[in-house]
Chain A
Amino acid sequence: MNASCLNIANLSAVLPNGARVLRSVSLSVQPGEVRALVGESGAGKTMIGKAVLGVLPPSVRIVEGDMLLEGEDLGRLQPKARRTLIGARTALIPQDPLTALNPSRRIGPQMTDRLVRILGWSGQGADARIRQLLDEVQIRDPDRVLKCYPHELSGGMRQRVLIAAAFAAEPRLIVADEPTTALDVTVQKQILRLIAQLQREHGTAILFVTHDLGVVAKISQKVSVLYAGKVVEEAETAALFAAPQHPYTRALMAATPRYTDPFASLKPVDDAVLAGLAAEIAAADQAWRRPHG
Chain B
Amino acid sequence: MLLQRFLIRLLTMAITLFGVAVVVFVVIRVAPGDPIAMMLPPGATDTDIARLRALYGLDKTIVEQFFIWLSGVVRGDFGTSISLRQDVLGLVFNRLPATLELAIVALLMALAIGGTTAILGARERGTAVEAGIDIASGAALSIPDFLWGLVLILLFGVLVPIFDISGRVSPQLDLPFVTQFYLFESIARLRFDLTKDLLGHMLMPAVALALPLAAIISQLLKQSLKEVLDLDYVVLARVKGFSETQVILREALKNAALPTLTLVGVQFTFLIGGTVIVERLFSYEGLGNMAIDAVINRDLPLIQGIVLVFALLFVLINLTVDMMYALLNPRLRHG
Contacts and interface: CB of A to CB of B under 8 A. Distances in A.
Contact of A83 (B243, B254, B331, B334): B243
Contact of B243 (A57, A80, A100): A80
Interface in B176-211: none
A69 B331 CA distance: 40
B240 A55 contact: no
A113 B237 CA distance: 9
Interface in B209-260: 230-233, 235-243, 246, 250-251, 254-255
B56 to A, nearest CB: 56
A96 B232 contact: yes
A104 interface: yes
Contacts of B334: 149, 152
A113 B247 CA distance: 12
Nearest to A101: B233
Interface in A110-144: 110, 113-114, 117-118
A166 B329 CA distance: 26
Contacts of B240: 87, 91, 113-114, 118
A91 B239 contact: yes
B329 A94 contact: no
A16 to B, nearest CB: 11
| Size bracket, chain B contacts | 20 to 34
Contacts of B250: 113
Contacts of B8: none
A163 B59 CA distance: 80
Interface in B121-177: 125-126
A4 to B, nearest CB: 20
Nearest to A98: B232
A104 to B, nearest CB: 5
Contacts of B254: 104-105
A92 interface: yes
Contacts of B331: 103, 149, 151
B239 A55 contact: yes
A80 B244 CA distance: 10
B73 interface: no
A84 interface: yes
A181 to B, nearest CB: 13
A41 interface: no
A64 to B, nearest CB: 23
Interface centre among B237, B241, B328 (most CB of A within 10 A): B241
Contact of B241 (A57, A84, A110, A151): A84
Nearest to B257: A104
Nearest to B250: A113
Interface in A27-78: 53-55, 57-58
A210 interface: no
Contacts of A91: 239-240
Contact of A94 (B236, B241, B251, B255): B236
11 contacts: A53-B238, A53-B239, A55-B235, A57-B230, A83-B243, A87-B239, A91-B239, A96-B232, A99-B232, A113-B240, A117-B246
Interface of A: 53-55, 57-58, 80, 83-84, 86-88, 90-92, 94-96, 99-105, 110, 113-114, 117-118, 149, 151-152, 162
Given A87-B240, A103-B330, 12 more contacts: A54-B239, A83-B241, A87-B239, A91-B240, A96-B232, A99-B232, A102-B237, A104-B328, A118-B241, A149-B331, A149-B334, A152-B334
10 pairs of A and B residues whose beta carbons are closest in the complex: A87-B241, A118-B241, A114-B240, A100-B232, A99-B232, A92-B239, A149-B330, A102-B233, A53-B239, A104-B254
